[in-house]
Chain A
Amino acid sequence: MKVDIVTPEGALFSGEVDSIVVPGINGSFEMLNNHAPIIAVLDNGDIRLKGQQITINDEVKDKFTTKQGEVILPINSGTVEMKNNHVIVLAE
């Protein structure tokens, strides 16, 4: 599935992943392929991306950390929308 992470200051990530964990306001949850369409509000926490090939633009590399094969991005708040296997995260 495709994931786009955008902020008011530009896109941070765009690419294919196997799964994404987002810090929902009522607790973290994971989304896999073919997840039902959802809109959720995100809290302060980490977004975790899992996948075979996750490449991150050099310009924004310092915002991400990699741990045990997961790519982690901390956010303050945000919103996530998923439909048709396309996840869009509006992060702050």
Chain B
Amino acid sequence: MANLKDIRIRIQSVGSTMQITNAMKMVSAAKLKKAQDAIEKMRPYAEKLTELLTGLSANIDAELGGDYAAQRDVNKVLLVPITSNRGLCGALNSNIIKQTLRLIENDYKSQDVEILTIGKKAYEYLSKKHQVVANHSEIFDDLTYDKVAKVAQSIMNDFVEKKYDKIVLIYNSFKNAATQIVKTEQFLPIKTEASESNVVLDYLYEPSQAEIVLELIPKSLKTQFYKSIRDAWASEHGARMTSMHKATDNAKEMKDELTLQYNKARQAVITGEILEIVSGAEALKG
């Protein structure tokens, strides 16, 4: 059995780890709330935009989407894995990295693959073996729509300039604090879906319908990109909260076990001492 001092030191160290993980859990819970609010807040915008776009594009027969819908033979692929900047959030980031590697090794085996990472974790891992063209970890420092829109615009331009034939986003979609789902989403070219027209109102259009659609498509792409990043952001905090909660529980269990061990050792020492005293007294009597 370990001696008393060793056990005491271990109890202390487990205790302070527990305090840290507990504090991290609290911080993540607060940040998760904010992240969820932000997702809620963008919903009216995203929904209205989609409504306008589907309503309008259903009315036009012409080839839609312009440059963003161009279906080319896929030779050059850009993968955009979105991870967090910090660790200690369970399997969240490794799931994204695994999925990215799977895509490189299976789906896009015969194509040229380039990677644009968002989040330090993906960059640190993927830049060792693969061609990472850019890293935009800084957008998580202060997550605003403007910053995200800039990144989105630059990859949209790359697509239009035929630098890439296909752009794929890989991110964690937020379901709840305990569950995040890895999503692989084709960002460009956009998939134009034939939808039934339900617009009965006769609108005035300024400029023409087709031009409005062309204006709306980049906006909708940016919104989609922004939503993915917001989702990844909420997932990070959800995952961290859950894993820190588990860590706190484990630490508590460990501390209880060590305390029991400590008490047993302490009792053994006391029993030993009493025995010594008693036998000493006996010896004096005799």
Contact = CB atoms under 8 A, between A and B. Distances in A.
A72 to B, nearest CB: 20
Contact of A8 (B52, B145, B212, B216): B145
B204 interface: yes
Interface string B18-59: 000000000000000000001001101110110010001000
B201 interface: yes
A30 B46 CA distance: 25
B49 A10 contact: no
B212 A41 contact: yes
B42 A39 contact: no
B52 A81 contact: yes
A25 interface: yes
Interface string A32-66: 00001111110000000000000000000000000
Given A41-B206, A92-B219, A9 B41 contact: yes
Contacts of A92: 145, 149, 219
Contact of B45 (A8, A24, A25): A8
Contacts, number: 75
Given A79-B52, A79-B216, A90-B48, A10 B207 contact: no
A7 B45 contact: yes
Interface in A1-27: 4, 6-11, 24-26
Nearest to A35: B204
Given A6-B45, A9-B38, A36 B204 contact: yes
B56 A39 contact: yes
B44 A11 contact: yes
A34 to B, nearest CB: 13
A38 to B, nearest CB: 4
B202 A41 contact: no
Contacts of B42: 8-10
B75 to A, nearest CB: 33
A15 to B, nearest CB: 15
Interface residues of B, number: 28
A87 to B, nearest CB: 12
Contacts of A11: 41, 44
A37 B226 contact: no
Contacts of A71: none
Interface in B114-170: 144-145, 149
Contacts of B203: 37-39, 81, 83
B46 A41 contact: no
B63 interface: no
A57 B176 CA distance: 30
B150 to A, nearest CB: 12
A44 B285 CA distance: 105
B41 A40 contact: no
Contacts of B56: 39
Contacts of A75: none
Contact of A41 (B145, B149, B207, B222): B207
Nearest to A81: B52
Contact of B201 (A6, A41, A83, A88): A83
8 contacts: A7-B45, A8-B46, A8-B223, A8-B226, A39-B212, A41-B206, A41-B211, A79-B215
List the 8 closest A-B pairs by CB distance, nearest first. Answer: A10-B41, A40-B206, A38-B204, A8-B145, A6-B45, A41-B215, A37-B203, A37-B201
Interface of A: 4, 6-11, 24-26, 36-41, 77, 79, 81, 83, 88, 90, 92
